[in-house]
Amino acid sequence: MDLFEGPTDVFGMAIYNSLLDKVETDPKYEKFVQNLEEKVMVDLDYYSLLIKFEKGKEFEVIKKEEAEEKSPDNDDIKPTIRVKIKVQNFLDILEGKSSIIKSFLTGQLKFKKGFLKIYKVYKLFSKMMS
């Protein structure tokens, strides 16, 4: 699977490297990611990250501002799923100290758009961390 060269910020790199590692080591997860057609916006405390999945193509993790510069018409960056999460909770999930479900149930992870796709978000991030 050809992949985008990667993000330049620390949180984007953490997501990208976790996704890449899981895709390279788990054929089922790779198939799941290859079949996704979603744009997930993750609003952190300081900035937003866009994770783009195009069916059969590479995934991309990019800061919202950089995505807007690349696509001035903004059609390419409209998220289908948008979540808000604090950086510390995000890091806890990446380190396995917390989970997507726990974060959602305690209000630390909030859906701003695409709530009905909660299962995809759960499957994407919880499998990425395992």
**Domain of 48: which CATH number?**
3.30.1050.10
Please count the CA atoms within 13 angstroms of the CA of 13 that sit on its side-chain side.
3
Q: How far apart are CA 105 and CA 98, in angstroms?
A: 11
> pTM of this prediction?
0.79
Q: Answer whether 111's CB lies under 8 Å from 87's CB.
A: no
- The verdict on residue 58 lying in a domain is yes
Q: How far apart are CA 94 and CA 83, in angstroms?
A: 16
The total number of structural domains that make up the chain? 1
Q: How far apart are CA 79 and CA 64, in angstroms?
A: 10
Residue 106 has what pLDDT?
A: 93
pLDDT band of residue 129 (cuts 50, 70, 90) is: low
Residue 1 has what pLDDT?
A: 43
Mean pLDDT of the chain: 82
Residue 72 has what pLDDT?
A: 67
Distance of CA 71 to the CA centre of its chain: 19
pLDDT higher than threshold 90 for residue 98: no
Phi-psi region of 79 (alpha: psi -120 to 50; beta: other; left: phi over 0): beta
- The verdict on residue 3 lying in a domain is no
Residue 3 has what pLDDT?
A: 45
Mean pLDDT of 112-116: 83
Alpha helices (H) in 1-130, listed in sequence order: 10-25, 27-34, 64-70, 87-94, 100-105, 118-129
Mean pLDDT of 65-71: 79
Residue 110 has what pLDDT?
A: 92
Residue 13 has what pLDDT?
A: 86
Other beta carbons within 10 angstroms of residue 63's beta carbon come to 18
pLDDT higher than threshold 80 for residue 55: yes
Residue 128 has what pLDDT?
A: 64
pLDDT higher than threshold 80 for residue 107: yes
Residue found under tokens 């744009």: 39
pLDDT higher than threshold 60 for residue 51: yes
Range of the domain at 114: 10-129
Please count the CA atoms within 13 angstroms of the CA of 110 that sit on its side-chain side.
9
